[in-house]
Structure 1
Amino acid sequence: METSVLIPTNDMSRHVNEIVETIPENEFDEFKHHRGATSYHPKMMLKIILYAYTQSVFSGRKIEKLLNDRIRMMWLSQNQTPSYKAINRFRVNPKVDALLEPLFIQFHSQCLKQNLIDDKTIFIDGTKLEANANRYTFVWKKSIQNYESKMNEDSKALYHELVKDKIIPKIKEDNDHELTQK
């Protein structure tokens, strides 16, 4: 049985897959190398990393474990199982950061717009009711644009906070664990 049929249509893994698939193929030209072993495709690596982040998993070792345990990760990776070393090498690549930051911001913003994640209420139709119901308050297009700009800034700040507080410490923890095993 194909794994994709087991995943609901409105599942977060499908949203991750869709957003990564929107990246033009030429954005990955810099990742191609002509010597050594073939590497994992950057789109696949981005998918598993982004999905792991949506599950609050930041350790390369835990991401590697999810690739063997979770049907969604198996589907996103097309049953490939990169090691935690390959995952961490990919994550610390400066080219990846240049791709991942705008991708994370776009993904976070889309999830907020589609109410897939909860942050603050967004009023798209232009009208909201006040809690005390005294009057209608209208939200104009300019207000929505300002909110969207703020939402993108907040997403960017969240990305940098995750990198600093969660991702980098987990990569260091993976590396330290490897050193103590030798």
Structure 2
Amino acid sequence: MFAVIIYAYSRGIYSTRDIEYLCKGSQRAQYLLNSSNIPDYSTIARFLLKSNDIIYELFCQFVEKLFKLSEIPTETIYIDRTKIEAYANKYSFVWKKSTLKYKERLGLYNK
């Protein structure tokens, strides 16, 4: 189930109903399920809810591994699909405090 979740997230699919639809229509997702039954959206939601801490820890280990392999450029940090404009106006800005908080969570904050 975890492999299907990662596959769906990598395809930009985050809704449990959409993940269920992906499992029904994609041979790749069915391969990742090892020919087991296609999970219902509520089953996927329960899995995500019960294993949230484990998934977060695996994601952190995955990101650390990518950093060690130099697969992630450290010149630019992308946080939660946030776009920071070069020419900001009064209607588009990013709070410095929130950016530093997310940077610190990533373990990249060095004073």
Q: Which band: TM-score by shorter chain?
A: 0.5 to 0.7
How far apart are 1:59 and its partner, in Å?
A: 0.4
**1:92, 1:65 → 2: CA distance?**
19
Which 4+ residue blocks in structure 1 deviate beyond 4 angstroms?
none
- Alignment match of 2:11 (pick from 15, 36, 55): 55
Letter in 2 for 1:61: R
CA-to-aligned-CA distance 1:32-69 (integer Å, 9 cap, x gap) = xxxxxxxxxxxxx2111122112221100111111122
Provide the TM-score with structure 2 as the length reference.
0.57
Q: Return 5+ residue gaps in structure 2 as ranges.
A: 76-102
Q: 1:1-182 alignment to 2 at 5 Å?
A: 45-80=1-36, 81-93=38-50, 96-111=51-66, 113=69, 115=71, 119-120=72-73, 153-154=105-106
**1:108, 1:63 → 2: CA distance?**
23
Report the structure, 1 or 2, having the larger helix content. Answer: 1
Query: Could you tell me the percent identity over the aligned residues?
Result: 28
Greater relative CO (CA pairs within 8 A, separation 6+):
1
**Cα gap change, 1:75 to 1:58, in 2 (>3 Å):** same
Provide the TM-score with structure 1 as the length reference.
0.37
Higher-Rg member (1/2): 1
Q: Return 5+ residue gaps in structure 1 as ranges.
A: 1-44, 123-150, 156-182
Alignment RMSD, CA only? 2.6
Aligned length: 78
